[in-house]
Amino acid sequence: MKKIYFSIIVGVALISMISSSYALQEVAGKITLQMKPGENQNFNWGLLSDSDNTTTVSLSASGNGSQFLSFPKTITLPPHQVVTVSVTATVPSNYNGQMELTPYLFATQAGQSGGPTILNVQVMKIVTLNINETQNTPTTSHAVGAVPEFPFAIPVLIIAIMSLIVIHRLKSSSVKI
């Protein structure tokens, strides 16, 4: 019986710690651009912090074609609001490389100091640049309503796992449910 109480206390403690955690999120959807050499195209990348405070986020890019992307190096996210980051893709006029490039955009929210562990949160968006001579129609998809609601999902998952552990222990002991 002591183990059951201990499991419940640990579960409640975990839930109280996790419920005050915040996450950096991005707007769902693919970003695909059809481009020609010598062409510029703009697209938007939606970011959201579910923190109750204003947050500064660092932006970076890597991967094949990242040198063709330009964007601000940092942005400020107000609490609980989607902010769109304007990104410009520029393919040089003398480009004759791969026809499909997939650079990665990263947004990193630095963790808060003051505790024994500092966690940085990072999200990544894959951008597809299709480069050819005949198409130049940009295709971007941003499902603003598809931003996931994580603050409640994690505590519910922990409660479900803790309940399964308690039920398993009760079944394996002599106590009848």
Residues of the domain holding 74:
23-139
Tens digit of pLDDT at every position of the chain (177 positions): 667 766 676 665 555 555 445 578 888 889 999 999 999 999 999 999 888 888 899 999 999 999 999 999 999 999 889 999 999 999 999 999 899 999 999 999 887 766 676 677 889 999 999 998 754 444 444 444 334 444 455 565 566 676 667 666 666 665 555
Position 17, amino acid: M
Taking the C-alpha atoms of residue 177 and residue 66, their distance in angstroms, rounded to an integer, is 59
CATH number at residue 43: 2.60.40.10
Q: Is residue 4 part of a domain?
A: no
Place of tokens 């902010």: 83
Q: Please tell me whether the overall predicted TM-score, pTM, comes out greater than 0.75 for this model.
A: no
Q: Is residue 161 part of a domain?
A: no
Number of domains composing the chain: 1
Q: Is residue 5 part of a domain?
A: no
CB neighbours of residue 87 within 10 Å: 22
